[in-house]
Amino acid sequence: MAKTGVVLMNMGGPDSLEAIQPFLYNLFSDHNIIRIPRPIQKPVAYLISKIRAKKTEEYYRVMGGKSPQKEQTLEQAQALQERLGDDYTVVVAMRYWHPFTEEAVEKLIREKVERVILLPLYPHYSKTTTGSSFQEFDRVYREKGLDIPVRRVESYHNHPLFIKAWVEKIKEDVGEDYRDFYFLFSAHSLPQKVIQEGDPYKDQIEETVRLIMEHFPGVAHSIAYQSKVSPVKWLEPFTDEEIQRLANEGIRKLAVIPVSFVSEHSETLYELDIQYGELASQAGITDYKRVGTLRNHPLFIQALEDIVKGE
């Protein structure tokens, strides 16, 4: 049987305090995310990254000096490799820090794979995430002069096992009294203009939440968005403002579910756990639970296996 390469695609994160500024530079240099006029994008990206690196260094110090995303993505790759077996080679391609897409492709070349499946660890499609990762793969593919078939998995936001994994994870982390909690689903925000141009991300987030909530009849819930990074208009309501609103309305038990994330990083470990945890406490919420990301939850890995084999 021809060997198949599976490329797990993710954003990546700084693996040391020294990596914060170059990671941010790579991020802000991506025109898919920040639309700075191309002739000045890299100089502006350098300036922004220098300024933001000083601010975000505090986040990463609290998190132990680095983002855990690389290790957790490698764990996911290993778990998927074990399920798929020897006819597949699973590699990791990060968009903004090591291991970069080029490193992943070089490994596939060494393994002599005869076809490739691009499997983003973004369950919901956006051209700012999945689209950008696909573009980078295509650039490296052309640069290496490859000529093997490539299948792209654009999203799996409504895959039954993905939904089931979230349902189980929520019950595990919130506990048996989950019916007493208000569920706040938090997703990474995007510029409103991206959605207006036809990006399906927001619709897919809403479909995921609807499918999850079919398993929690009678539980109140809402969706909010976090991690805005530029002055243009982004998807709202913002998660911190929604927490304040819910507290003002008398909610005292709140479960926050990071529905767009499948591994931990600064958006979950610092923003949701520390910043918004403190906000919730100060606002009067007495029981604040943040549901963990799916990471290598058996049902999530099973979902990825099903997606790979569902050709």
Question: What mean pLDDT comes out for the span 261-281?
Answer: 97
What pLDDT sits at residue 2?
A: 77
Q: Assess whether pLDDT exceeds 90 at residue 117.
A: yes
pLDDT at 120: 98
What pLDDT sits at residue 1? Answer: 63
What's the average model confidence in pLDDT over 78-85?
98
For 139-148, how does the pLDDT look when each residue is reduced to its tens digit (9 = 90+)? 999 999 999 9
Banded model confidence at residue 311, pLDDT cuts 50, 70, 90: low
Mean pLDDT on 266-278:
97
Indicate if the pLDDT at residue 95 is higher than 90. yes
* Confidence band, pLDDT 50/70/90 cuts, at residue 229: confident
Q: Would the pLDDT of 224 be above 70?
A: yes
Per-residue confidence (pLDDT) for residue 218, from 0 to 100: 97
Confidence check: pLDDT of 60 > 70: yes
pLDDT of residue 38: 87
Mean pLDDT to the nearest integer, 132-138:
97
- 227 pLDDT above the threshold of 80: yes
Identify the structural domains of the chain with CATH numbers, from first to last: 1-155 (3.40.50.1400), 160-290 (3.40.50.1400)
Mean pLDDT (the chain, rounded): 96
DSSP character string of the chain: ---EEEEEEE----SSGGGHHHHHHHHHT-TTTS---HHHHHHHHHHHHHHHHHHHHHHHHHTTSS-SHHHHHHHHHHHHHHHH-TTEEEEEEESSSSSBHHHHHHHHHHTT-SEEEEEES-SS--TTTHHHHHHHHHHHHHHTT----EEE----TT-HHHHHHHHHHHHHHH-TTGGGSEEEEEEE--BHHHHHTT--HHHHHHHHHHHHHTTSTT--EEEEEE---SSS-B-SSBHHHHHHHHHHTT--EEEEE-TT-SS--HIIIIIIIIIHHHHHHHHT-SEEEEPPP-TT-HHHHHHHHHHHH--
Token digits for 103? 């490193």
pLDDT surpasses 90 at 36: no
Residue 156 to residue 135: CA distance in whole angstroms: 19
Q: What is the pLDDT of residue 32?
A: 84
